[in-house]
Chain A
Amino acid sequence: MSQAQKPRVGLFVTCLVDLMRPGVGFAAVKLLEDAGCEVIVPEQTCCGQPAFNNGDRATTRDIALKAMDAFAGCDYVVAPSGSCAGMLRAHYPELFAGEPELAARSAAFAARCHELTSFLVDVMKVETVAAALNARATYHDSCSGLRELGVQAQPRKLLAGVEGLDMVPLRENDTCCGFGGTFAVKYGEISDSIVTKKCENIEASGANLLLAGDLGCLLNMAGKLSRRGKNIEVRHVAEVLAGMTDDPPIGAPGKKA
């Protein structure tokens, strides 16, 4: 990438990272800057999935239009989430089908949107990251990233370059963790059964660190692992890749002041 023309990347923080774990956002900024990008963070809220997946198309459209405006000046839009990137990339164009002008605009917008690890590997051609962590980790493939965007090899490729990190396989790594956005609350009992099976597989993997690329899934799995009394750390993959693991893991007690 030439020095003069750094690609301008708009960070789509995602509402969960913005509210629950801003550290993931700063990890994403570091990874993007290290890869040679100029990062901007336009004022934003959410990709609109809660409305979209609960049948409220009008609200989803409003949110999508706002988001497309907010990121209008960016070469790329990158989200530390396969689910939100999938919404921007796969579903925004659906919202405007049959409206030629907006359909074209949303298709052009969608083509610029990427999930973080796949953007680093596939677009920025990042080969390795400068990070180290002594841990035995396993990786859960979040559904939207995996099936809507084909994110599977990219995070593993980058994780392979983290010094001291031992990756172990996870059985049924491509099955859902039971989060599903509002599903986890609307059908809490079924969600519980699904995340319980997921935790059994995580516990059987022998890992002491669980990684994934979506905070929704991570909150769900971390919440269930701690409820089960398991001492397995849970982090977003960006934190490890950026070498920013000083914050306590997801759901762990804060540092003593």
Chain B
Amino acid sequence: MTVHSTTPQFKQNAHAALRDAQLQQALGNVRVNFVERRATAAARLPEFEALRDSARDIKNHTLAHLDLYLEAYEKKVTEAGGHVHFARDSAEACAVIVDICKSRGARTVAKGKSMVSEEIGLNAAIEAAGMRAIETDLGEYIIQLRGETPSHIIAPAVHLNKEQVEQDFRRVHVDLDKDRDLTAPESLLAEARAVLREQFLSADIGVTGANFLIAETGTSIIVTNEGNGDLSQTLGRAHIVVASLEKVIPTLEDAAQILRVLARSATGQDMSVYTTLSTGPRRPGDPDGPEEYHVVLVDNGRSSMLGGAFQDMLRCIRCAACMNHCPVYHAVGGHAYGSVYPGPMGAVLTPSLIGVDKGGNLPNASTFCGRCESVCPVRIPLPKMMRHWREREFERHLSPAGQRYGLGVWGFFARRPTLYRWATAMAMPLMAFAGKTRGRFASLPFAGGWTQYRDMPAPQGKTFQTQWKARGGRTR
């Protein structure tokens, strides 16, 4: 990944995030709004659970035959007059896109919202080549003004409040009336629309992501709520679609199925406001549309996930339901993860992208509460995959020494029931005696991670197994 990752500093990031009052307030909205809206939308549709199965099956089928569908897709795009470019990694993907833009003499590139463009560090590559990249999604536009990265995969500026946005607009939009009223959220939106409209008209090239690539027709589909994607891709001379290769699915009918769970899982809408289909460049007789149509298919480690323990992760349709329902995301927000993709899906995907030696904190920072899996529209077993990463870490001796040592001592006893019963029969009454007066411990050696934040209730006394034996209870 070309984007700088602070994932190894996850704990420090989390520490800072937990002390950021403004961030904590913003996260409170995620915790309530997204969860309630998704639950309402799911409850409204009787076949929602069956649709989740169907969405999972469509993605599984595609992944099992990904090579065939990619070839079919490429053929159809070419027949429609477009060009498909395969990129093995971020550098190749950026090079292809920058080359197309430069060779067309572009000065300004309008971008629709695209997480894979964040993953490959496209904006930096475009700027480094002397061109301007303009984010046209409102949230992306705001964080671009602030020099930040998205903190959420569908609501990139969810960590901010409107006062912060107002300050940024006043700082950047200096040619507008200083005394204008920006207190209402609508006024911020209107100002962004007016400013962005000029940018669209001046853009030479439009870059968008894709929610789906249709093998049957060579069509790319994006869903947005602002219509910015449509303007980005139709007003420029060329439209470049950048997408990771698992976005391909067989047919338009498959897309129609998955769309029924996508917006409901994401924002609780039945459908996103705009669902835009693009197939090739402008045809003779078309009133508008780009003269050129390119698709850059990014691998960046995905093909090595095929056939392995993490293949199920490639089903992900980037709805963000997992992070919207995650207690850890609710606590620390997206930036603390230090990676392009936060939350449970990020905790699984990030080690694939940057290595488990750097990304290992993320799959460890989960309570395995399972709420992510319970809302995932394509039923990705996210906790199980996080556990897979922990196994890789353990096998490679990457987990912290203290933790391994503690686990080793515990494992020694846990494997020896009689010894375990003996040792605990001795220890627990002592602990119970020590804690009897208050019924709890305010601090304990070796358990500082616990008692720094909460008391440890004292044990009752003799262990159950000791008492059971003493009472003559049956053991066989």
Contact = CB atoms under 8 A, between A and B. Distances in A.
B332 A190 contact: yes
A18 B370 contact: no
A130 interface: no
Contacts of B461: 22
A186 B450 CA distance: 9
A160 B474 CA distance: 32
Nearest to A147: B370
A194 B399 contact: no
Contact of B449 (A53, A188, A219, A253): A188
Q: Which has the most chain A C-beta neighbours within 10 Å: B365, B407, B454, B474?
A: B454
Interface of B is mostly: helix
B274 interface: no
Nearest to A25: B464
B474 A176 contact: no
Given A188-B449, A189-B15, A251-B440, A20 B457 contact: yes
Given A13-B465, A189-B453, A43 B418 contact: yes
Contacts of B440: 222-223, 226, 251-252
B369 A176 contact: yes
B409 to A, nearest CB: 11
A206 B317 CA distance: 41
B14 A187 contact: yes
B476 A253 contact: no
A135 interface: no
A13 B432 CA distance: 19
B454 A187 contact: no
B391 to A, nearest CB: 4
A112 interface: no
A62 B437 CA distance: 39
Contacts of B14: 187, 189-190
B413 interface: yes
Interface stretch (B192-200, B213-221, B420-428): B420-428
Interface in A105-133: none
Contacts of A96: none
Given A48-B414, A143-B371, A190-B365, A185 B447 contact: yes
Given A40-B475, A223-B456, A54 B371 contact: no
Given A40-B475, A252-B439, A55 B413 contact: no
Contacts of B411: 51, 56, 59, 63
B450 A253 contact: no
B327 interface: yes
Interface in B373-412: 373-374, 384, 387, 389-395, 399, 403, 407, 410-411
A189 B332 CA distance: 10
A253 B437 contact: yes
B457 A43 contact: no
Interface in A28-57: 29, 39-46, 48, 50-57
Contact of B391 (A44, A57, A220): A57
Nearest to A41: B468
B127 interface: no
A56 B476 contact: no
A139 interface: no
A251 B474 CA distance: 30
Nearest to A63: B414
B462 A22 contact: yes
Given A40-B474, A219-B456, A13 B439 contact: no
A184 B331 CA distance: 14
B141 to A, nearest CB: 30
A177 to B, nearest CB: 8
Interface in A207-257: 219-220, 222-224, 226-227, 247-248, 250-254
A50 B373 CA distance: 21
B387 A55 contact: yes
B453 A191 contact: yes
Contacts of A19: 424, 428, 459, 463
A25 B389 CA distance: 35
Contact of A194 (B331, B392, B413, B428): B331
Contact of A176 (B18, B371, B455): B371
B65 interface: no
A2 B457 CA distance: 42
Nearest to B453: A192
Interface in A152-181: 174-176, 178-181
Given A190-B332, A248-B439, A195 B454 contact: yes
B145 to A, nearest CB: 29
Nearest to B328: A190
Contacts of B399: 54-55
Interface string B329-349: 011100000000000000000
B437 to A, nearest CB: 6
A243 B43 CA distance: 38
27 contacts: A21-B459, A23-B460, A40-B473, A40-B476, A43-B421, A45-B417, A50-B407, A53-B368, A53-B387, A55-B399, A56-B394, A57-B391, A57-B394, A59-B414, A62-B415, A175-B369, A176-B327, A181-B367, A183-B367, A187-B11, A188-B449, A189-B11, A189-B453, A195-B453, A219-B457, A253-B437, A254-B458
Interface of A: 13, 15, 17-23, 25-26, 29, 39-46, 48, 50-57, 59, 62-63, 66, 70, 73, 94, 143-144, 147-148, 174-176, 178-195, 197, 219-220, 222-224, 226-227, 247-248, 250-254
A-B residue pairs, 9 tightest by C-beta:
A180-B367, A55-B394, A55-B390, A251-B457, A22-B464, A185-B449, A176-B369, A223-B454, A192-B453
Interface of B: 11, 14-15, 18, 327-328, 330-332, 364-371, 373-374, 384, 387, 389-395, 399, 403, 407, 410-411, 413-418, 420-421, 424, 428, 432, 436-440, 442, 447-450, 452-465, 467-468, 473-476
Given A43-B418, A44-B465, A183-B366, 4 more contacts: A55-B392, A144-B368, A184-B449, A227-B455
